[in-house]
Amino acid sequence: MSTEIVVEAPGRHRAAPHTPREPGPGEALVRVHAVGICGSDREVYEGNRPEGYVRYPLVPGHEWSGTVERVGPGAPASLAGRAVVGEGFRNCQVCDRCHAGETTLCDAGYEETGFTRPGAMAPTLTLPARLLHVLPEGADLTAAALLEPAACVAAAALKARARPGERVAVVGTGTLGMLAVQFLRAASPAELLVVGTGRERERPARRFGATGFRTRGGELPGGFDVVVETAGSADAARTAAALPRRGGRLVLTGIPAPGADGLDPTDLVVRQLEVRTVFGAPPAAWAHAVRMFAAGLLDPLPLVTHEVPLSAFARAIALAGSGHPDVGKVLLRP
């Protein structure tokens, strides 16, 4: 009998029988290949997810890849049998923000796969076919399971607007940071600095395209045209804000704990920094990530360090939150 993971409440989960939900009009049923664990999944399990951004009980899982088994009425029949990934935000498609392509700002309110709607920690997932992005024939579905975080980084890269020959920096050396290095490398920067908390991530950072590596405890250079923060701490945000030149561009993607000290608005204004933030990925960012992946410019597979069965959910959560330098992306295999 196939099973799914259900988080009943913070700290409480169980394996429950899974019955595929037949796709309705405009929907597709996807056979899940792999699903990733990220910090927000740990927030769901530990009860740290902000109010309104989780609905218990739920099947988690918003980073996933799979193959379409069948579609409902009105969905393209050509999707059947195709390898896909899918957007998580369930936007209304009719409000002003959706019409502008800013689907993560949908006026209808927040709804997302794996947080308020059933997620992919199950053998199958049924969702609107319009949210799917088709992968090229022969795509590595294990690597593709990281295209959700890659899409969030793609959103940051699009907002950063890095141009060839610019000086670029990334603060953070986790999965998002290493993906950011790959996206920004594709813009042909003159310099691509990565800033981490320790030296253990220097080798992968350079393998992905970094030209330099520094630690936050040491003296850091400034004058960067573009800085992307991916670490999700107030200290990382402050470090990132110190790196741009006057008039430079700063993109924040991490979410510090509530109550964290913010950036100095006087400093931001006097230096005329352009500050952008990312929460989720709109369709354009997803399309950018999939194109990069299909073109071979984005290789998420080296970031995967552990693959465990769905039944090892508790172990996967513990691994992902261990902070051990040998633990990268943890995948569950239904």
Q: What tens digit of pLDDT does each residue of 95-141 get?
A: 999 999 999 999 998 999 999 999 999 999 999 999 999 999 999 99
Q: Token digits for 37?
A: 């664990």
Contacts of residue 302, Cβ cutoff 8 Å, sequence gap at least 6: 204, 207
Contacts of residue 118, Cβ cutoff 8 Å, sequence gap at least 6: 21, 58, 59, 125, 126
Q: What is the pLDDT of residue 259?
A: 72
Q: What is the pLDDT of residue 146?
A: 98
Q: What is the pLDDT of residue 165?
A: 98
Q: Token digits for 11?
A: 């700290």
Which ranges of the chain have pLDDT less than 50? none
Provide the 3-class DSSP secondary structure of residue 143. Answer: helix
**Residue 6 — φ and ψ, nearest 5°?**
-120, 120
- List b or e across 90-112, with b for residues whose CB sees 16 or more CB atoms inside 10 angstroms: bbeeeeebbeeebbbbbeeebeb
pLDDT in tens, 298-317: 999 999 999 999 999 999 99
Concatenating the DSSP letter of every residue in 4-45 gives: EEEEEETTEEEEEE--PPPP-TTEEEEEEEEEEE-HHHHHHH
Q: Omega into 149 within 30° of 0, i.e. cis?
A: no
Global pTM value: 0.94
HSE at residue 175, side-chain half, CA atoms within 13 A, is 27
Tell me the CA distances in angstroms from 224 to 66, 69, 101, 160, 229, one per residue in order: 39, 47, 29, 12, 13
Length of the chain measured in residues: 334
Q: What is the pLDDT of residue 4?
A: 98
